[in-house]
Chain A
Amino acid sequence: MAKQDRMSGNEAVAYAMKQINPDVMGAFPITPSTEIPQYYSEYIADGEVDTEFITVESEHSAMASVIGSSAAGARSVTATSSCGLAYMWELLYVAASMRLPITMAVVNRALTGPININNDHSDSMGARDSGWIQIYAETNQEVYDNFIQAIPISERMRLPIMVCQDGFITSHGVSNIELLDDEEVRDFVGEYEPEHFLLNSEEPYAVGPYGISAYYMEAKRAQAQSMKDSMAVIMDVANEFKELTGRDYGFFEEYMMGDAEVALVVIGSSAGTGKEAVDRLRGEGKKVGLIKLRVFRPFPRKPLAYAMCKVKAVAVMDKAESFSNSGGPLFNEARSSLYDLPNKPFVINYIYGLGGRDITVEDFYEIYQDLFVIYRTDDPEDVYRYIGVRDSRYRYE
């Protein structure tokens, strides 16, 4: 029976972990994800779980420890943020290429510098090419639900997975949440029974061998295929989760897209603020919609392209600056996915919310207004835009 409660996003992750009761957690504290290992070590100290907690001296070692435990055959989890994720970089690729089903809670935070503890997506967006599945959450409920779904997704695919949420905004924000029973979670994730594992005395087994040029490219091509194949598994698990909870998950959520003329594509907690803007604009008779991307890796390019094609102008929102001179990472992949379609919408990019810069309902109003200008004039003018930055060329208060 579902239980109504209220908790922060970090508590929700720790609580989901408790219900999953993994074999090993290796973690090093970093703001704003620190509370996750903190709450979890309380569960361990209180004897509520029998997880082996590996204390380490850095995030590099935290990732190394779960790579080791996962290869040994243990269901393994960790959590990190920002510079901690950056410090894991080298090992992220090792985990993915060894096809280890490690589940990592990423509490998104800006990268230094200037030094900053607040939210944006530059940490996980930077890790987008490391071969990890990436799932993002709008609310604490989604953080909890995504973490539970992450276990079967990663174990069926043998791929590591990042379950991302917005630092402080959801991680430290308390809100209503519906929790599953321990037994329901245990049944949903099942026992971890890897086919091959290092502690199996029946099968001597070698992992992570050297791959000379004659093999490396085949290895990478096979790894890329596993990411493609995970699309179906993500949907299978979402369908099973819907049967259990009634809550519907996919690669993305379409909000008021049916008859929309213009739309946003956005990731994470800001999607909620955007939906509020949609509700109010709909109240004024404006046909606006919103697409909230949940799964960024693998990138659902075909379904997303078809969803964007329903409207005439799209603003893609990036909470990460990639210094590319050609827009943010989500924009590039979203717009590229449209290239082969005959009737493409106009697509513009907004960089927003860096280092905790707040984005409000009023900001989304402004973006929808800009989209309606393009809708009327057929002229996108500047494709690469920012919102929420003080700019001497424009008046600001």
Chain B
Amino acid sequence: MAGTHAVEIRWHGRGGQGAKTACLLLADAAFDSGKYVQGFPEYGPERQGAPITAYNRITESPCKVHSNIYKPDYVVVVDETLLSTVDVTAGLSEDGAIIINTEKKADELRPMLRGYKGQVCTLDAKRIAEENLGKNYPNTPMLAAVVKVSKVIEERKFVEDMKHSFEHKFHNKPSVVTGNMNALKQTLREVKVG
């Protein structure tokens, strides 16, 4: 609800899992593609494991609003155990989608989504990260899934920009660049829209 072309995204994760970092990465990626961006966390108790929320607004013209997001177009759940305790679909647009990090199928999760009728998209970010990066770093797969589902950034441009960004960030560790790029491309293929 911020201007005509705003895409609003809400992230749910747990402190220490990287939901805030993924949210800032998305802001970076959208900025690189020429958009106006906001990426901001909402701080609660600030403890490892506590549920945390982060937000993105992505717009074609400068965005003035500085409030939290109550009617998101997309919701991203980095930790599926939150589904039973947090009302993650609150205010979520039925024309949008929820993206969940899980090994389960969308139909198995739908009963936990309090009657949400929009798209439920899943990806196994843990497995993709472990296969490509050797550890459970879900940020790159989650970021790629959001881009794939929301189409907020043109996919080919996104892949190019992320390659530059990883090469810049990890210029001393070429294997990390390859691992992240493989995780990203694998996610773009594997995200299930259900």
Direct contact of A and B (CB under 8 A): yes
Contacting residues, chain B, for A174 (C-beta < 8 A):
24, 27-28, 37-40
Q: Give per-residue flags for B1-21: 1 if the beta carbon is below 8 A from chain A beta carbons, else 0.
A: 111000000000000000000
Between A and B, how many residue pairs show CB distances below 8 Å?
A: 65
Contact A273 B65 (CB under 8 A): yes
Judged by a CB distance under 8 angstroms, whether A269 is at the interface is: yes
Residue in A6, A117, A118, A270 whose beta carbon sits within 8 Å of that of B66 in the complex:
A270
**Min distance, Cβ B189 to any Cβ of chain A, angstroms:** 29
Judging by beta carbons under 8 Å apart, are B31 and A173 in contact? no
A175 to B63, CA, bound (A): 9
> What's the minimum C-beta distance from B2 to chain A, rounded to whole angstroms?
7
Judged by a CB distance under 8 angstroms, whether A250 is at the interface is no
Q: Could you tell me the distance between the alpha carbons of A170 and B38 in the complex, rounded to whole angstroms?
A: 10
A356 CB to nearest B CB, Å:
8
Contact string against B for A residues 67-109, beta-carbon threshold 8 Å, 1 for contact and 0 otherwise = 0000000000000000000000000000000000000000000
Q: Which residues on B sit within 8 Å (CB–CB) of A117?
A: 43, 46
Cα-based distance from A175 to B40 in the complex (angstroms): 9
CB contacts (< 8 Å) of A270 on chain B: these are 66
Q: How far is the CA of A168 from the CA of B38 in the complex (A)?
A: 12
Q: Does chain A have a CB within 8 A of B170?
A: no
Q: A169 at the A/B interface (Cβ < 8 Å)?
A: yes
Residues of B within 8 A of A173 (CB): 38-40, 66
Q: Which of A117, A166, A272 has the most CB of B within 10 A?
A: A272
Once the chains bind, are B43 and A168 in contact (CB under 8 Å)? yes
B84 to chain A, nearest CB (A): 23
Chain B residues proximal to chain A, CB less than 8 Å: 1-3, 24, 27-28, 31, 36-43, 46, 62-68, 70
Q: Given A272-B65, A360-B68, 8 more contacts at CB 8 Å?
A: A138-B66, A168-B43, A170-B66, A173-B40, A174-B39, A174-B40, A175-B63, A356-B43
List residues of chain A with CB under 8 Å of any chain B CB. Answer: 6, 117-118, 138, 166, 168-170, 172-176, 269-270, 272-273, 275-276, 279, 356, 358-361
